Amino acid sequence: QVHLVQSGAEVKKPGASMKVSCKVSGNTLSELSMHWVRQAPGKGLEWMGSFDPEDGEEGETIYAQKFQGRVTMTEDTSTDTAYMELSSLRSEDTAVYYCATGSLGYFHYWGQGTLVTVSS
Amino acid sequence: DIQMTQSPSTLSASVGDRVTISCRASQSISSWLAWYQQEPGKAPKLLIYKASSLESGVPSRFSGSGSGTEFTLTISSLQPDDFATYYCQQYNSYSPLTFGGGTKVEIK
């Protein structure tokens, strides 16, 4: 049973950056494909991208075009922690951010979510 | 992008009712479709994958069907725990992975 625990809620100013962490237990991060999904208040689910482990030290990232240039997904396999950084924040980025993992592009396991509020 | 359209957006039903939620893809996604249930303030929970495969631990009153562009989630007899929002998601293409807009199942 994989368990994902995310970092706590944050408040950010417009133009700042955010970085959410997602710690894995029950498996090793290097065995998992980690995705990030967000949900604006009262809205639906939006996939942001994923980080897939590959042979060797470098993994492969796939970002939704909407977030290209603003998002960076990384992993620290020594601590089994995944990170998602989003820069140049605007009010529309206010959302709950989830990490989620699954084998083929659907998600068996989800983190509890991290609320990020962007406000001046 | 593959657009996923769910209907209805809201559904009012009573305990014991049979409930059907539809999901349409803008192009064929074969059977690469998942369904999730989300309760308020909680993360989504996987119910169905590959259009009709029931996730382990999910009650058998949930079932999925369809292929190509038309899919259905059915709850055979609605229970109190089932009042939630349901989302479909295609994973035929990572460019990008996309979700339907959601269907909220409310108490009638």
**Token pair for residue A107?**
């998600």
d(CA A31, CA A112): 20
Specify the residue for token string 């994923």: A50
Residues in A lying within 8 Å of B, measured between beta carbons: 35, 44-47, 49-50, 62, 64-66, 98, 100, 102, 104-108, 110-113
pLDDT of B70 over the 90 cut: yes
Q: How many CA atoms lie within 13 A of B90 on its CB side?
A: 30
**Quick one: pLDDT at residue A54?**
63
Query: Is residue B100 within 8 Å of B6, Cβ to Cβ?
Result: yes
Strand, helix or coil at A64? Answer: coil
Angle at the Cα of B93 from the Cα atoms of A85 and B5, rounded to 5 degrees: 95
Cis before residue B96, ω within 30 degrees of 0? yes
pLDDT of A55 over the 70 cut: no
Q: Report percent pLDDT > 70 for chain B.
A: 100
**Quick one: pLDDT at residue A119?**
96
Query: pLDDT of B33-52, one tens digit each?
Result: 999 999 999 999 999 999 99
Q: Tell me which residue of A76, A60, A44, A119 sits closest to B9, measured CA to CA.
A: A44
- pLDDT classification of A58: cutoffs 50, 70, 90: low
Query: Is residue A83 within 8 Å of A20, Cβ to Cβ?
Result: yes
List of chain B residues whose C-beta atoms are within 8 Å of the C-beta of residue A45: 36, 44, 87, 89, 99, 102
Q: Is A94 exposed, middle or buried (0-12, 13-18, 19+ CB in 10 A)?
A: middle
List of chain A residues whose C-beta atoms are within 8 Å of the C-beta of residue B101: 44
Q: Which of A25-34, B28-37, B56-65, B98-107 has the lowest mean pLDDT?
A: A25-34
- pLDDT classification of B31: cutoffs 50, 70, 90: very high
Span B41-68, mean pLDDT?
97
In single-letter form, the type of residue at position B57 comes to G
